[in-house]
């Protein structure tokens, strides 16, 4: 298995730390300088040679939001990046429900190419659950970007949403084990 390159690791680290970096620099650094952080994320995402075509939009979204932040020295476009990511993931996962196989089914087939029908139905349901997650997460991220303090926005987008994602991953794993046992019993 090929190891991720430096641009990919750098981009992932910046995305994970992005809300906390914006919050810690808020009031100390002009938004147009913070926009350079989004440009760095975009560059890392677009330069990552093994990055799937399905995820290059993340770099484009970062550039699209960095431009008005640079131009108008505004913090709001910077706070909308997590919203753009959730919206993009919702679109990607949702599109796969109308153009099968679903995203989760594709991932499952990487380890088990011969999925039984119950597993295909299960992966479709999990894809739907992730769509709901991205819709709710994006809505809350939007609300905090528009109407909450930078600290609340940072806490939600940099901590709470990641914890919620981890809980969903763990919960889905437990449900998957249960579903497998039910069909192999």
For residue 163, whether the previous peptide bond is cis, meaning omega lies within 30 degrees of 0, is: no
97, 43: one domain: no
How many other CB atoms sit within 10 Å of the CB of residue 147?
Answer: 9
34, 85: one domain: no
Instruction: Name the burial class of residue 120, with classes exposed (0-12), middle (13-18) and buried (19+) by CB atoms within 10 angstroms of its CB.
Output: middle
**Res 40: pLDDT:** 84
Q: 49, 74, 99: which is the final residue of a domain?
A: 74
Give the total number of structural domains in the chain.
2
The percent of residues above 70 in pLDDT, for the chain, comes to: 90
164, 92: one domain: yes
Q: Answer whether 185's CB lies under 8 Å from 120's CB.
A: no
**Res 15: pLDDT:** 79
98, 137: one domain: yes
46, 14: one domain: yes
Q: Can you give the pTM of this predicted structure?
A: 0.89
Mean pLDDT across the chain? 89
How many other CB atoms sit within 10 Å of the CB of residue 133?
Answer: 18
92, 136: one domain: yes
88, 38: one domain: no
Beta bridge pairs of residue 26: 29
61, 99: one domain: no
Domain of 47?
1-74
Residue 46 has pLDDT above 80, yes or no: no
Cα–Cα distance between 22 and 40 in angstroms, integer?
13
């Amino acid at each position: 298995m090929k190891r991720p390159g430096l641009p990919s690791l750098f981009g992932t680290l910046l995305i994970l730390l992005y809300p906390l970096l914006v919050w810690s620099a808020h009031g100390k650094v002009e938004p147009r300088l913070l926009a350079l952080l989004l440009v760095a994320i975009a560059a890392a995402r677009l330069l990552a040679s093994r990055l799937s075509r399905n995820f290059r939009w993340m770099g484009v979204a970062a550039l699209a939001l960095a431009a008005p932040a640079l131009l108008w020295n505004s913090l709001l476009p910077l706070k909308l990046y997590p919203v753009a990511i959730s919206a993009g993931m919702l679109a990607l996962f949702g599109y796969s429900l109308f153009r099968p196989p679903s995203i989760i089914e594709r991932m499952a087939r990487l380890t088990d190419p011969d999925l039984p029908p119950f597993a295909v139905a299960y992966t479709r349901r999990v894809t739907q659950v992730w769509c709901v997650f991205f819709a709710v997460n994006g809505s809350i991220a939007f609300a905090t970007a528009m109407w909450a303090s930078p600290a609340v926005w940072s806490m939600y987008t940099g901590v709470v949403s990641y914890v919620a994602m981890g809980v969903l991953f763990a919960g889905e794993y437990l449900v998957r084990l249960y579903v497998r046992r039910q069909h192999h019993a």
